Amino acid sequence: MKDTLITIKDDFWNEYTQLVRETVIPYQWEALNDRVQDAEPSYSIRNFRIAAGLEKGEFGGWIFQDSDLYKWLEAVAYSLQRQPDPELEKIADEAIDLIGQAQRENGYLNTYFTIQEPGKEWSNLYEAHELYCAGHLFEAAVAYYGATGKRKLLDISRRFADLIASLFGTKPGQKRAYCGHPEVELALVKLYQATGDERYLNLSLYFIDERGSKPSYFLEEWERRGRTTIWAQGEPNLEVYQSHLPVREQPVAAGHAVRAVYLYSAMADLARLTGDVKLREACERLWANTTGKQMYITGGIGATHLGEAFTFDHDLPNDTVYAETCASIGLIFWARRMLRLEAKSEYADVMERALYNNVLGSMAKDGKHFFYVNPLEVWPEASAKNPDKFHVKPVRQKWFGCSCCPPNVARLLGSLDEYIYDVSEDGSSVHVHLFIGSEAAFETSDRKIVLSQKSELPWNGLVEFKVSVKENKNDAPFILALRIPNWFHAKEPVLKINGEQVRYHVEKGYATVYRVWQDGDQAEWLLPIETQLIAANPLIRADAGKAAIQRGPLVYCVEEADNGKPLASLSLAEEPELTASIASELLGGCIVVEGNGVVLDSSGWTEGQPYQPLIRKRETVRFKAIPYYLWGNREPGEMNVWLRY
C-alpha cells in the first residue's frame, strides 16, 4: 500500500482505542509483572530478569511465555505512534533493556532454554515454540522502530534472526526444520519490509517450503528425544502442527486453528511478494474452506478444544465450541493479506465479522477481563460440572496461565487503522474496506489528498466522505471503491456525490466510481441497516431449525439477565416482529432487538419427572437480544446465539 497516514476518528472505535491506551496496556503490564490480585501469574518479566542474571529462580509459566511481553510491546508501539506518552515509552524502553540483557552473545534469546534447559536449544521444535517467540519479538521490534525510530529492539531482533538464518536451511550443517507453531514466517516478512534485507524474506519462504516435507522432521526429532514430549502423548500429530502435507497441497483447513491462520497469513504475504501462483491458489482454496465451511457466524474458527482445532466441514457446535480469540485475530491477519493480494469484498466481510463479534466480545467493557474461548451457547452449570465444557467460561478471566489472547487483542485494536483502506502505489485508487470514521492522507498526481470518513456504524448505515486536495491544484483524479457489505440485502446501496445520486460500477464486491475529485467534494454511502433473521446451511447440524439475529455487522444473542432461564426453551414465534431500539443506559449504550417468542409451559411437570407424553402447551413472551460482543458483562448466566423457530 502506498504510504498513507491514517487517523481513526470514530465514536464507536475511539472508545476502544482509548480503552487500550488508558486501561488495557497498563493493566497488562501489571499482569506481566504478576501484580494483579487473584489472577493467574504470568512470570513473564520475572523470567527475563532471571535470564538476565538479575534474579535467582526457576522458569515459570508456559514454555512460550516470552511472547506475551513481545505482543504487549507491539501494542505499546501502536499506542505511542498514535499518541505519544513519555512515561509509557520509558517503561517500554526499560523492558527492551531487560530483553537485551537476557540475549546471549551469539544472538540467541529465549528465557526457557536459558534458565531451564541450557544446551537443549532447537532440540524440540515440535513443541518448544522457540521460533514462535522469535517471531513475536520481530513483530514488536518492527512496530517499535516504526513508532519511535529507536533501533535497540530491532537490532536485538536482527541479531537473533541472523543466528536463525545461519542455523536453518538446506546448506551442509544446517537444520532442515521449521517451528511447530507457525508465526516466525509472517514476522520475517515484516522484518524484511522494515530492513530491506532479503535474507529474512528467503528464510520465511524456506520455512514455508520445508513444512510438511517427507520424511517428517517432527517424527525424526521425536525419535531422537526418546519418543518423549512436553504435554502431548504418543507420536506427534502432524495435522495439528500444520505439517501433515506441504502447504501448497493442503486441501482444507485442518489442525490447530491459530497455527493454521498464522501460516496462511505468511503464505499470502509470500504469494504477493514472490508471485508464487501455487501458493496463491493454496491460499484461495484454504480460504474458501475455512470461511465457507468451518467458520461460525461470529467469525470464530476452531470447533474443538482437543487440539484447539478445526474438525471437519460444517461441524460447528455451539456449546462445546472453542473459537479461540487468537484464532479470530489470526483470521483477520489473513483476511488483510488476502485483500492485498486481491481487493475482493469477501475478505473484508470476514475481517469485519470477526472484528465486531468474536474479537470485541473477547474483552470485557472494563478492559481487564478476557475470554480465551468464545462460545455461542452457555449454560454456567454445565461449564462448572461437565468435563467436556470446562473450557467454556460464563465469565471473563482476569488473566490466564496461557495468556496469548489478551495482548493479541491489544495489538490488533492498537493497529486498527491499518485495516481500513488500501491506496494503490500511484494513488489512482482508494479501496475502503471498513467503515470506520477516520482520515486517510495520501498522494496522487503530485497532489496531497485527505479523505475524511464519518461513519455511523455499527448502529446505522450512513457513511460520509469528504475529499480535501492540498497543494498545486484543487482537483485530483482517482477511483473511490466502497465495499458492499454481505450483510446488506437491499436492492443496492445508494451513492450520492454532492447530494446527487450517481451510478457506480461493481467490481469484486466494491462499488467503484472514477472522478476528478474537487477539493470539498462530499460523498454519501447509504447502507440502511435492517434487523434480520439468519439461517445456517442445513449441513450445519448444530443450527438446524434455528435462526440467529443480525443487524448490520453485529450478531445478537439472548442472555438470562433479560429473558430468564432456561434459554433452551425459548423459540421464535411464527411472526417474531423484530424491533430495534436504543438502550442508552444498557452496557454503555447500544441498540437492542426485541421480538415475539414462545417458551414451553413447565407448569405440568413435577419434581423428578424426566419425561412425559408430549403436550404442545407454550406461552408467548417478548424477548430481548443484545449485541453478542456485549454478552457476559452483567451477572453470570445463560446465553444463546441461535434460537429455534
C-alpha cell, 462 = 450512513
Q: Which residue has the cell 469485519?
A: 352
Given its phi and psi angles, is residue 281 left (phi above 0), alpha (psi -120 to 50 degrees) or beta? alpha
Q: Which of the four pLDDT bands, split at 50, 70 and 90, describes residue 445?
A: confident
Residue 472 has pLDDT above 80, yes or no: no
pLDDT, one tens digit per residue, over 345-370 is 999 999 999 999 999 999 999 999 99
Collapsing DSSP to helix, strand or coil, 26 comes out as helix
Residue 133 has pLDDT above 60, yes or no: yes
Number of residues that make up the chain: 645
Cα–Cα distance measured from residue 157 to residue 81, given in angstroms and rounded to the nearest whole number: 20
Cα–Cα distance measured from residue 639 to residue 57, given in angstroms and rounded to the nearest whole number: 44
What does pTM read for this prediction?
0.97
Q: Which of the four pLDDT bands, split at 50, 70 and 90, describes residue 375?
A: very high
Judge whether 117 counts as a catalytic residue: no
Give the amino acid at 28. Q
Q: What is the mean pLDDT of residues 542-551?
A: 98
Helix (H) or strand (E) holding 95: helix 86-102
CB atoms within 10 A of CB 445: 16
Q: Which of the four pLDDT bands, split at 50, 70 and 90, describes residue 446?
A: confident
Collapsing DSSP to helix, strand or coil, 265 comes out as helix
Taking the domains of the chain in order of start, what are their residue ranges?
Answer: 5-419, 421-526, 531-644
* Three state DSSP letters for 333-357: HHHHHHHHHCCCHHHHHHHHHHHHH
CA angle 559/560/564 to nearest 5° reads: 135
User: 378-387, 449-458, 598-607: which has the minimum mean pLDDT?
Assistant: 598-607
Collapsing DSSP to helix, strand or coil, 428 comes out as coil
The residue from 74, 127, 183, 308 that is catalytic is 308
pLDDT for position 604: 82
Q: What is the mean pLDDT of residues 287-311?
A: 98
User: 106-110, 391-395, 564-568, 599-603: which has the minimum mean pLDDT?
Assistant: 599-603
Q: What is the mean pLDDT of residues 569-596?
A: 97
Residue 343 has pLDDT above 60, yes or no: yes
Pick from 632, 213, 78: which is nearest to 397 by CA? 632
Residue 307 has pLDDT above 90, yes or no: yes
Collapsing DSSP to helix, strand or coil, 157 comes out as helix
Whole-number average pLDDT of the chain: 96
pLDDT for position 1: 54
Q: Which of the four pLDDT bands, split at 50, 70 and 90, describes residue 471?
A: confident
pLDDT, one tens digit per residue, over 251-290 is 999 999 999 999 999 999 999 999 999 999 999 999 999 9
Q: What is the mean pLDDT of residues 400-407?
A: 93
Judge whether 30 counts as a catalytic residue: no
Q: Is 538 exposed, middle or buried (0-12, 13-18, 19+ CB in 10 A)?
A: exposed
C-alpha cell, 207 = 520455512
Runs of H (alpha helix) within 129-233: 130-148, 152-167, 184-195, 198-210, 217-224
Of the CATH numbers 1.50.10, 3.20.20, 1.10.3470, 3.30.70, which one belongs to the domain with range 5-419?
Answer: 1.50.10
The 3-state DSSP composition of the chain as helix, strand, coil percent (nearest 5) reads 40, 20, 40
pLDDT, one tens digit per residue, over 2-52 is 578 999 999 999 999 999 999 999 999 999 999 999 999 999 999 999 999
Per-residue DSSP letter, 169? S
In CATH, 421-526 is 2.60.40: yes
The residue from 326, 404, 405, 557 that is catalytic is 404
pLDDT for position 2: 59
Angle between helix axes 152-167 and 198-210 (nearest 10 degrees) is: 50
pLDDT for position 489: 81
pLDDT, one tens digit per residue, over 60-103 is 999 999 999 999 999 999 999 999 999 999 999 999 999 999 99
pLDDT for position 354: 98
Cα–Cα distance measured from residue 598 to residue 576, given in angstroms and rounded to the nearest whole number: 10
Strand partners, 559: 639
Cα–Cα separations (whole angstroms), residue 389 to 308, 320, 359, 385: 13, 6, 21, 8
